Each structure stands twice: as C-alpha cells, then as structure tokens.
C-alpha cells in the first residue's frame, strides 16, 4: 500500500478520468488527494504548495506544449511530475523526460504502471527528505550540539535538529546567513539562538526592511552616527523582510555585501555578523524581475529553510505545553489540563500562521479559561475553519463538483473522520452533527 502525509495533485481536465485516478489511488492507500480540472491557476498552485507528486496533462488548446511542460517543471521545483499523454504523443513524453518530468504515462492509463510510477515518486520524495537532513548534518556530522541555545524551539523533529546543528557549526563564522521560511516559523528566534551560540560580546539587533525607503536604508547601513551596525558593535544584526526591498534599496544593500577595496565597510568596521531573513520564494521574485540575482547569490551562499509547523506536527504537544505554561504564568492562573482530543484538532489544522499562530491561539484560550480542564469550545474557530476547508469545491481531499449529493455527503464525512483520526465526537462537532446522528449514519452505511 502507498503512504504519504503530503497531498498529491491530480490535474486532469476530464472529470471521469480524474475520478477514476482518485479512486485508484484511494484503493491503494492514498487519501490526501487534491483534484484540479481548471488549469487557470495550476502553475501558481504547484509553485506555492508542496505535493508528494503531481499527475497532470497538458490542457487542451495549449499550442506550445513543450514550452508549457518546461514552465511546469520550473514552477514545480522539486515535486515529481507524472505526465499523462495520448497514445500518439510518445515523442512528447521523451522530450518531457528530458525537460525534467519524472515520468509519463500513455492513455488509456495502465493501473499497475500508474501505481509503480507513484511508488517510485514517493520513494524519491523520501530520499530527498533524507538528503535534506544529510545536507545539514555534513558540517557537524561527528558531533552533537554542544549548547542549549536552540532549546527555545521545543522541537524533537530530526530536520529541525539538523538545522540547529548546522547553525551551531556556523555560529562563530562571519559569513552572512540567509534564514527562509513562511511567516511565523521562528526566523527571528533562530537568529537570536545563533547569536547566543556565537558567543559574541555585542548585542543582538533585529530590524525589518519592509517598506523602508532608500534614504532610511542609507542611514541604517552607512551613517557614521546612526548606523545599525554601530548599535550592534561586535554583535549580530538581523535584517528581516529583505525580500521586500525596492529596486533602489537592493542596490544599496548590494554595496553592503560587496565591499570595495580601500572603502570602509560597516560589517568589518564594527565586527558585526549579518543575518538576513525572508518569507517569500526568491525564485519567483527573480523570475518576475523583482529581486536582483547577483544580490541573492551573495546573501544565500549559506542558507536555512525552516519548515512550516504543518510539517513538524509531532512537536505540537511540546509547544502547547510550553505556551500554556507561559500563558498561565503571565495571567497568574493555574495551568489547566489539556484534553487529548485537542491534539487531534490541532493536527488536522493547516496553521497558515505557523508557530506564531499556535502561540496566539493558546494565549487566547488561556484568557478565556476559568477553571478545570481546558475547554475544546475555546478552539471552535479551528473547527469552523476545517469545515469550511472540507466544503470547498477544490477541497484538499476531493473535488466534489462532479459528485451527486450522497457522494458529496459521504466524502465530507470521510474527510472529517480522517482529519480527526477517526474520532467520531470531534468529526461530528466539525460537521455540526450530534455524536449519535453520526454514529447512526455510519452504521447504516455498513449495512
């Protein structure tokens, strides 16, 4: 049986073929399936969301098929792509392989070949994940972390541990380090940890560059009196939101990271370590002409990509306990017991705001908490969001537009059960049913 925590994408115009593919994968163990029949936002989708693999076809009416496939490969980055073609398009399939497509299948699609190809794609995904771990291990392969500077992350995730060891090994260095990741993943917290691990005697200073104009940036970088490097003398300076610099500001920043011989450089003059952080994908920005390639290559020689919280959900228990303890202490309340069902709710949630959002949710729940066990009712907004996600036509489990009413109802109920780890109480709450009504419905379905 196939298995993947990450979703797969079926981008096929024909509703029947798409539904048959969905059923085939479902019978072979893959249930987290997103379907797409309209290709208008296909490239945007695969560039912004990571899938275990994508099964797709060239949309009808596309005149320049080879060029479109090449664009798809570029937008998909490292996602394995499986291309479905008509029988007479074998040559196009070979060209697609050369362009970077993982594999191609000719219609009518042979089920054993489809499953074999999907299996190889998942094996490739697992290998890439392992390689990403090894990449961080290479610098500090024969040593354990020697400091507790990264303990504030409360993580047992192996990828996070590898990142910590990589950062610890680079901490004493003077090299510029780029920290990337979605909003709320902890880029500034990581920067502070790197500063602590470096042993630098000076302070840690963080400054956002969002909306900064060239005059202010000139002052930040090169002013003899007000330079931020002067304030962070012998310490660490983090510039956040470097991906949002205007074209003129990028030119100024380029001056900073490419010192001219004989010209004083604030980094050297003040013995300051430079860290930069970004929340957007530089490849998109460079492709759109909105970020200088020369600047990107200068700041990204050493870089870290922090994973989103949805990829490290085994850390939820540690994080919840930590945030709950801090919130209880700050609000001078007794720390409540956490119902085990809460973790099922949290694991089913996407967390667009990542760790920062989780922290806010826990603090808000503590403000409303009075006594006893922490109430699940305080997390109703999450339940509501999950129901809304389930009912979207392009929901992450099924495309319901082509199903009849009964099938749609079955699909939504099944999705709720899967997202709550078969917990009928939580699933009923998500769907607005009573626990008894859901139980009775499931019994009738088994008859």
CATH number of residue 275's parent domain: 3.40.50.300
Q: How far apart are CA 107 and CA 198, in angstroms?
A: 58
Task: Say if residue 22 is in the same domain as residue 85.
Answer: yes
Domain finish residue from 285, 307, 329: 307
Query: How distant is the alpha carbon of residue 323 from its chain centre?
Result: 22
H or E segment at 122? helix 111-137
Provide mean pLDDT across the span 265-291.
89
**Do residues 154 and 278 share a domain?**
yes
380 pLDDT exceeds 90? Answer: no
Residue 369 resides in a domain: yes
Please tell me whether residues 315 and 302 are part of one structural domain: no
What digits encode the pLDDT tens for the residues 243-276? 999 999 999 998 888 766 566 678 888 999 999 9
Query: What average pLDDT does range 38-55 have in this prediction?
Result: 89
**DSSP code per residue over 177-228:** EEEE-STTS-HHHHHHHHHHHHT-SS-EEEEE-TT--HHHHHHHHH-TTT-H
Residues 319 and 380 grouped into a single domain: yes
Per the CB < 8 A criterion, the answer to whether 205 and 236 are in contact is yes
Name the DSSP letter for residue 271.
Answer: T
The CA angle 182-205-254, to the nearest 5 degrees, is: 70
- What span, in angstroms and rounded, lies between the C-alpha atoms of 238 and 28? 48
Q: What is the mean pLDDT of the chain?
A: 84
Task: Based on the fold, state whether residues 277 and 341 are members of the same structural domain.
Answer: no
CB count within 10 Å of CB 268 equals: 11
Task: Establish whether the linkage from the previous residue to 108 is cis, with ω within 30° of 0.
Answer: yes
Q: Based on the fold, state whether residues 302 and 400 are members of the same structural domain.
A: no
Q: Are residues 296 and 165 in the same domain?
A: yes
- Among 24-28, 66-70, 132-136, 221-225, the range with the most confident prediction by mean pLDDT is 66-70
**Per-residue pLDDT at 401:** 45
Q: How many angstroms separate the CA atoms of 57 and 106, rounded?
A: 10
CB 188 within 8 A of CB 206: yes
Domain of residue 408, residue span: 311-446
Q: Is 21 in contact with 105 (CB distance < 8 Å)?
A: no
Dist. CA 414–CA 434, nearest whole Å = 16
* 77-91, 243-257, 261-275, 362-376, range with the lowest pLDDT: 261-275
pLDDT of residue 376: 85
Band (pLDDT 50/70/90 cuts) for residue 220 is: very high
Of 284, 307, 330, the domain-final residue:
307
- How many folded domains does the chain comprise? 3
Catalogue the E-assigned strands of 321-414: none
Considering the domain boundaries, does residue 2 fall inside one?
A: no
Distance between CA atoms of residues 288 and 178, nearest Å: 21
Q: Report pLDDT digits (tens) over 410-429.
A: 777 887 777 665 767 667 76
């Amino acid at each position: 049986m196939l298995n993947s925590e990450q979703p797969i994408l079926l981008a096929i115009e024909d509703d029947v073929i798409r539904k048959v593919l969905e059923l085939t994968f479902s019978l072979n163990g893959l249930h987290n399936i997103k379907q797409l029949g309209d290709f208008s936002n296909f490239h945007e989708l695969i560039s912004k969301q990571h899938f275990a693999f994508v099964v797709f076809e060239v949309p009808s009416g596309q005149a320049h098929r080879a060029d479109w496939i090449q664009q798809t490969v570029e937008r998909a980055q490292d996602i394995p792509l499986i291309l479905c073609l008509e029988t007479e398009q074998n040559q196009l399939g070979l060209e697609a392989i050369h362009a970077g497509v993982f594999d191609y299948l000719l219609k009518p699609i042979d089920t054993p070949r489809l499953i074999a190809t999907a299996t190889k794609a998942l094996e490739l995904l697992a290998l890439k994940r392992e390689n990403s771990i090894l990449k961080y291990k290479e610098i500090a392969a024969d040593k354990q972390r020697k400091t507790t500077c990264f303990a504030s992350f409360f993580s047992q995730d192996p990828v996070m541990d590898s990142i910590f060891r990589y950062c610890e090994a680079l901490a004493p260095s003077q090299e510029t380090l780029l920290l990337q990741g979605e909003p709320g993943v902890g880029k500034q917290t990581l920067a502070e940890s790197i500063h602590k691990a470096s042993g630098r005697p000076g302070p840690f200073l963080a400054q956002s560059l969002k909306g900064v104009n060239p005059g202010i940036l000139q002052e930040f970088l090169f002013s003899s009196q007000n330079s931020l490097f002067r304030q962070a003398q012998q310490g660490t300076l983090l510039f956040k939101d470097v991906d949002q610099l205007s074209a003129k500001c990028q030119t100024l920043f380029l001056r900073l990271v490419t010192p001219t011989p004989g010209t004083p450089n604030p980094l050297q003059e003040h013995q300051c370590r430079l860290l930069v952080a970004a929340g957007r994908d530089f490849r998109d920005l460079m492709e759109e002409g909105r970020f200088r390639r020369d600047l990107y290559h200068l700041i990204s020689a050493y870089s870290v990509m922090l994973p989103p919280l949805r990829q490290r959900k085994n850390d939820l228990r540690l994080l919840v306990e930590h945030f709950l303890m801090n919130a209880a202490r700050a609000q001078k309340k007794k720390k409540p017991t956490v119902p085990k069902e809460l973790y099922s709710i949290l694991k089913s949630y996407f967390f667009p705001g990542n760790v920062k959002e989780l922290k806010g949710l826990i603090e808000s729940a503590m403000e409303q908490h009075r006594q006893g066990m922490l109430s699940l009712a305080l997390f109703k907004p999450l339940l509501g969001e999950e129901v809304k996600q389930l009912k979207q036509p392009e929901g992450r489990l099924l495309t319901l537009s082509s199903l009849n009413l009964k099938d749609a109802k079955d699909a939504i109920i099944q999705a709720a059960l899967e997202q709550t780890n078969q917990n009928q109480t939580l699933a009923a709450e998500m769907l607005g049913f009573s626990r008894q009504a859901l139980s009775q419905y499931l019994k009738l379905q088994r008859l």
